[in-house]
Amino acid sequence: MRVFVGNLAYGTTEEELRGFLFDHGFPADVKILVDRETGQSRGFGFAEVDNPDVLQLNGQQLHGRALVINEARPREERPNRRAARGSR
């Protein structure tokens, strides 16, 4: 199951989030999204877990912030940006 994890502190690493989930009994593959230009965390990410009970962690604290954890929506198809701008 793919879950969205939001309201992350900008300094949170993928290893810390993985450890948080593991400490609560949910081994996970984790990806925190970062800004392409600055490399800074965007404050959210996704985790792949086997157990839907992970949703019970919604509101739990990590680095003093209440996490938002819910089932991830499927990715929407987006138009190719380069095609929209014209080939250069």
pTM equals: 0.83
Q: Find tokens 């987006």 and name the residue.
A: 78
Calculated CA dihedral for residues 51, 52, 54, 55, nearest 10 degrees: 180
Give the pLDDT confidence of 33-80 residue by residue, as tens digits.
Answer: 999 999 999 999 999 999 999 999 999 999 999 999 999 998 887 777
Terminal C-alpha separation, the chain? 40
Q: Which domains does the chain have, with CATH numbers?
A: 2-73 (3.30.70.330)
Query: Angle at CA 74, nearest 5°, toward 72 and 77?
Result: 140
Q: Which helix (H) or strand (E) holds 14?
A: helix 14-23
